[in-house]
């Protein structure tokens, strides 16, 4: 078990596109994924991308407790390697996001409400499915990290960006925390 240091906004590793993983089944990737899961559990987030732990590879993990999911059902800890997403609808929704690389802040970000995702698992198997609501949002947030995009770059109204505690007081902004 290892808890990794999380890169914060401004670090170049968060601005670069991450490289594809050639062989998801090698032990180094499993070890990275396990350390990322430990790091996410320690930080209390719902998703983490490898560039956030200073590794420029296309690996993300997601883990959404039932209490944080808009459907009420949990997403168990899942490792997605070389993930690709595709919008299933033009419909976008705004909701507050946080990011472990932008501590204490939240912002309202428009995201597609329904997406399809496809990735590889640790054995190289294909993992695919459809996601909506909060899960779709988390996947879009994490996949953006792989392309060097942090959520403020997706925002369309920067008045909806601020410190979590201030925003909560001011407009009832709810921290759904990132990712």
Identity of the residue, 64 or 179, whose beta carbon is nearer to Ni ion in the bound complex = 179
**Span interacting with Ni ion, options 26-34, 35-43, 95-103, 129-137, rule CB under 5 A:** 95-103
Size of the site for Ni ion (CB under 5 A): 3
Contact flag: residue 99 with Ni ion (CB under 5 A): yes
Q: Provide the 3-class DSSP secondary structure of residue 13.
A: helix
Contact flag: residue 178 with Ni ion (CB under 5 A): yes
Active site residues: 142
Contact flag: residue 64 with Ni ion (CB under 5 A): no
Please tell me the distance from the alpha carbon of residue 76 to that of residue 49, in angstroms, as a whole number: 16
**Cβ 113 to Ni ion shortest distance, Å:** 19
Identity of the residue, 93 or 149, whose beta carbon is nearer to Ni ion in the bound complex = 149
Q: Which two tokens stand for residue 70?
A: 């808009």
Contact flag: residue 179 with Ni ion (CB under 5 A): yes
What one-character-per-residue DSSP string does 96-156 give? EEEETTEEEEEEEEEEESEEEEEEE-TTS-EEEEEEEHHHHHHHHHHHHHHTT--GGGG-S
Count how many Cα atoms sit within 13 Å of the Cα of residue 4 in the half-sphere of its side chain.
23
Identity of the residue, 81 or 109, whose beta carbon is nearer to Ni ion in the bound complex = 109
Binding site for Ni ion (CB under 5 A): 99, 178-179
């Amino acid at each position: 078990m290892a808890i990794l240091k999380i890169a914060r906004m401004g670090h170049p590793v968060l601005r670069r596109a991450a490289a594809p993983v050639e062989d998801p089944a090698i032990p180094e990737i499993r070890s990275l994924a396990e350390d990322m899961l430990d790091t996410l559990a320690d930080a209390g987030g719902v998703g983490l991308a490898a560039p956030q732990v200073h590794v420029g590879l296309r690996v993300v993990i997601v883990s959404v407790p039932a209490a944080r999911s808009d459907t009420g059902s949990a997403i168990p800890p899942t490792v997605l390697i070389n993930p690709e997403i595709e919008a299933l609808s033009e419909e976008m929704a705004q909701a507050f996001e946080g990011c472990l690389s932008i501590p204490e802040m939240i912002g309202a970000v428009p995201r597609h409400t329904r997406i399809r995702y496809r990735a590889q698992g640790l054995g190289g198997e294909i993992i695919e499915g459809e996601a909506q609501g909060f899960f779709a949002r988390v996947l879009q947030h994490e996949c953006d990290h792989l392309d060097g995009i942090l959520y403020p770059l997706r925002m369309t109204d920067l008045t909806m960006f601020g410190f979590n505690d201030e925003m909560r007081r001011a407009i009832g902004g709810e921290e759904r925390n990132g990712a």
